[in-house]
Chains A and B, each alone.
Chain A
Amino acid sequence: MAERRLRVATASLAGCFGCHMSLLDMDARLLELLPHIEFDRSPFTDIKQLSPCDLGLIEGGVCNAENVEVLLEYRRKCRILVAVGACAITGGLPAQRNHLDIGACLQEVYLTEPGTTHGLIPNDPELPLPLDKVYPIQEVVRVDYFLPGCPPPAEAFWRLLSDLVAGRTPHLPRELIRYD
């Protein structure tokens, strides 16, 4: 029987796409993986609908209502969910706003500073509403594995994916999780 390919979805929440770029940094080794994996919804594919997947890779923390919805959907549909990068794991750079009041931020940006909104805080229902803080994803959903780094090096993605393809518990060697 032909090996079933691992179905992988990825998403960027409050992140900078640096983690996604780092995954692509696997270069030629990505070709080695491709016989074993296929991408579902992901910035790589432009597929808009998420199907049931084996693996979901989440970059970025949770900063607004849409992030929550996306994350919950990925959790529902992915058997294994991985927090990828410092932003997903800790909130990262966007969480710098956590010591400020979100109301005061909105006021400062849209009302106090000169801008294009004519003295209004945008209230279009199409716009996702910001949360009071930026949260790490494991505070919102259960997370199975964590891939640390900002971004995690391509080698770390390679280890994670090749381990999962081979059915091994993912394991990062010490060199890949030390940053000094």
Chain B
Amino acid sequence: MSTPPLTPELEAVLDRHGRDPTRLVQILREAQELAGWLPPPLITALARALRLPRARVEGTAAFYSFLYLRPAGRYRVLFSDNVTDRMQGSEALLDQLCERLWAEKGRVTEDGLVYIDTTSCTGLCDQGPGLLVNGWAIPRASRERLDLIAGLILEQRPLAEWPAELFHIDHPIHRRDLLLAEPPTAGEALAAVLAHDADGSGLLAQVERAGLRGRGGAGFPTARKWAACRQAPGAVHYVVCNADEGEPGTFKDRVLLAEYADLVLEGMTLCAYVLGAGRSPTQGLIYLRGEYRFLLEHLQSALARRRAAGLLGRAICGRAGFDFDIELHLGAGAYVCGEESALLESLEGKRGVPRNRPPYPVTHGYLGQPTVVNNVETFCAAAVIARHGAEAYRARGTPDSPGSKLLSVAGDCARPGVYEYPFGVTVREVLADCGAQDAQAVQVGGPSGTLVGPHEFDRRIAFEDLATAGAFTVFGPQRDLFEVVRNYVHFFAHESCGFCTPCRVGTAILRGVMDKIHAGRGARHDLEQLEQVERAMRLASHCGLGQTACNPLRDLRTRFRPTLERRLASLDFAPAFDLDAALARARAFTGRDDARAHLHTDTLAS
């Protein structure tokens, strides 16, 4: 059987990536941008060109939400389905668009024109509801804007001809502290370090003294990570920037990448200086979530500017031996790829399944080489420390959580956007600043964080109290917290990578129970079952996703128990479905309607 030859455009994609199988995810993504989807012959041809088993290529493509192995319509409209999008009316808008375009959610229309569905949080919570059209983000969906979009789709206008205004994204910053204080000048921190520090050890000590802890959620001491990697032997030391920002409700990395790209890149370059001691080879990678495709060209030009200015490439700032450059990788819709070892798998062109650890990335990371993975904000903080010194940094925040933290504030408040605070700020202060009156709850740190109620609004944002990767989602009194948590439970069930049983099955059970309670069929027994499942997931899940997937339910159960209980049918147990309705089909086909052709639980159970 012969495989059709690849088009010249596809050959160009392959050549650009050096026909390197570790670039598979990037190649698939770019091939899809050309063809709209990934037809079987294309998979076969790519497998052959990359000398990979076909199943490897197809299996990888199947892993990612934004790679399509079936025709996906000429226009793919995905509605962000975070709870904040729903609060802004996304569900009704989705129905409206379906009606307007004669489409059914989750199905390509018969003429192959359009596909409408939902997707996990796209990081536009401050200006939602968010949309992705063929991968391009559109904020502030409204009836009017969707009417416009429907018209453009019906006219089959290419995306390039759509009004640019539709794609305009704001990056609101409402409070600035250490990090966001002054617009950074490219190269300033680097020059300061290179002037005094011959091998990066001085900077490493400074980051250590500053007490910097990772901003991606776990709060691991950054200097310890850098030191371990610097000591690990390897042909190349890699600096990886985690810009996957998949936690629903978080968007501060988006704002940093858009408005402070130089600060991010400077931080990465400083890290490279520490890892390679200005002598041995280093290489940088940015893993940018697919939802932030719109930032790609912006970041590429920031990189180009820095190369031109001698801040990237060979002999940075004229220092012979200090060579470092940065490459961009785009994700393709998988929350788990934010987990650092899954991220490395994805960077290597594979399915984003978390690795076994140890060994840790600092010794065996990207391509088995010593690798530092840090969050976008962590690199920015490192650059700020290099410029202003450890003492200035320590002067802000708390003893256990020095410095400042960017919060992504959204939900029921007057001024959503990014707020930078010294660590130690209380929930109450943030609520006052963003204009949130009578909040009934705040989700701190997104679904894998903590849902706090008013009696805890004096708690502090800090690693030792309310740890957070940055999400701060406010719920006003009109919101049903049960539905909020049900949304989060669905999110985890959708995003579980399926590798390990406690999480794959556990998240599905949790979703089933939440839907059962939602349908008015819940019972006290179901709550007990939730607790059991939760224990198993925490104990036995392979990665952080499964271990934290029960957090929203735990908080609902412990802090908002009546919200959950008032949904229960007041029974010890209730069936998961309507017994009598389950007989309807057979009744219709047999024409029976006698007493035994019905099931009435009330009489049966008495």
Contacts and interface: CB of A to CB of B under 8 A. Distances in A.
Interface of A: 65, 68-69, 72, 76, 101-103, 106-107, 121-123, 125-126, 128-133, 135, 139-142
B112 to A, nearest CB: 26
B144 interface: no
Interface residues of A: mostly helix, strand, loop or mixed?
Answer: mixed
Contacts of A65: 583, 596-599
Contacts of B579: 68, 131, 140
B524 to A, nearest CB: 10
B235 interface: no
B561 interface: no
Residue of B582, B588, B604 with most partner-chain A CB within 10 A: B582
* 10 closest Cβ pairs, A-B complex: A142-B573, A139-B576, A123-B590, A131-B582, A125-B594, A129-B586, A103-B589, A106-B589, A132-B582, A140-B575
A123 B605 CA distance: 26
Given A139-B577, A142-B525, A132 B589 contact: no
A153 B599 CA distance: 34
B589 A68 contact: no
A123 B586 CA distance: 10
Given A101-B585, A129-B592, 14 more contacts: A65-B583, A65-B596, A65-B598, A102-B586, A103-B585, A121-B590, A123-B591, A125-B592, A125-B597, A128-B596, A129-B596, A131-B586, A135-B577, A142-B523
10 contacts: A72-B604, A106-B589, A107-B589, A123-B592, A125-B595, A125-B597, A129-B586, A129-B596, A132-B582, A133-B582
Contacts of B597: 65, 125, 129
B572 interface: yes
A154 B577 CA distance: 33
Interface of B: 523, 525, 572-573, 575-577, 579, 582-592, 594-599, 601, 604-605
Contact of A103 (B523, B586, B599): B586
Contacts, number: 74
A16 to B, nearest CB: 22
Given A68-B599, A69-B604, A125-B594, A142 B586 contact: no
Contacts of A131: 579, 582-583, 586
Nearest to A123: B590
Contacts of A69: 599, 604
A130 B523 CA distance: 26
Nearest to B577: A139
Contacts of B575: 139-141
A83 B572 CA distance: 18
A99 to B, nearest CB: 14
Nearest to B584: A132
Nearest to B521: A139
Contacts of B586: 102-103, 106, 129-132
Given A125-B597, A131-B583, A106 B576 contact: no
B588, B592, B595 pick with most chain A CB within 10 angstroms: B592
B525 to A, nearest CB: 5
**Best-surrounded residue of A101, A123, A126, A141 (most CB of chain B within 10 A):** A123
Given A68-B599, A132-B582, A141 B590 contact: no
A122 B590 contact: yes
A133 B584 CA distance: 11
Contacts of B594: 125
Nearest to B523: A142
Contacts of B605: 72, 76
Nearest to B516: A139
